[in-house]
Amino acid sequence: MSDELIFETADGVAILRINRPEVRNAIDGATARAIAAAIDELDERDDLSVGVITGAGGTFCSGMDLRGFLAGDRPSIEGRGFAGLVQAPPRKPLIAAVEGYALAGGCEIALACDIIVASEKATFGLPEPKRGLVPTGGGALKLHKRLPYHVAMELLLTGKMFPAERAHHFGFVNHLVPEGTALEAALALAREIAANAPLALEAIKQVVLQSQDWSQAESHTLQTTLTAHVFRSADAREGSRAFAEKRPPVWTRS
């Protein structure tokens, strides 16, 4: 990894901490490449089941580094999008732990996650039209699916910020926690998820993501193609055996 991103692991969980507090964790090209490498490591390592992404210094991410943008530095990776993440999130579950600002691309990073834990003082927003830009990192594509249409359109077209409390009211934020505790709460949730069977976790995420493009007629058949290996796995037998024996399961990803 690089200085722009701190990568840590514990208890089956990977922590990706954007480490540019002097620019409110704005994403430049080097940071995007570091995040992409961390996502690859999360997916490749059998000892990791869940990722948590957060920011250093009390801010999640303020979006694209505009000074870098003006100098020709693009914080996107072909095929993976902004921050090396928004177009190609990990196969494994990813949780956003949000303190402070999650603006523009920072909001889109949160949108790319499966679960959002936010401080009561956190603020979200997509101010791109105020800068002559469009939120193409997932904001215009996803926000109206996570919020009521008219609420999403007001936020997209005005570019104004919305507080975490309002985001939580609409279900955009899963858990609203006291300031300074978002990472702690996200890690507790991540450990709860990581206690489950890793093959099942990945399959569930893929069914949810891919089924958005399935017709009703083909949905069950396509679901089977993504889940059949889970039912044939040693972990499926271990889960049933552990339940019968009243003990915690020991997963082997096999």
Amino acid at position 16, single letter: L
d(CA 51, CA 43): 9
Let me know: does 12 contact 47? Beta carbons within 8 Å.
yes
Residues in the chain: 254
120 is known as an active-site residue: no
Handedness of CA 133, 140, 172, 57 (dihedral sign): negative
Catalytic residue among 108, 120, 179, 192: 108
> How is residue 36 written in tokens?
């992409």
Burial 167-200 (b: 16+ CB within 10 A, else e): bbeeebbbbbbeeebbbebbbebbbebbebbbbb
Query: Whose CA is closest to 82, among 69, 101, 67, 96?
Result: 69
108 is known as an active-site residue: yes
d(CA 80, CA 38): 13
Let me know: does 64 contact 103? Beta carbons within 8 Å.
no
d(CA 50, CA 95): 8
Let me know: does 5 contact 29? Beta carbons within 8 Å.
no
Catalytic residue among 99, 128, 184, 192: 128
Let me know: does 94 contact 49? Beta carbons within 8 Å.
no
What is the set of active-site residues? 108, 128
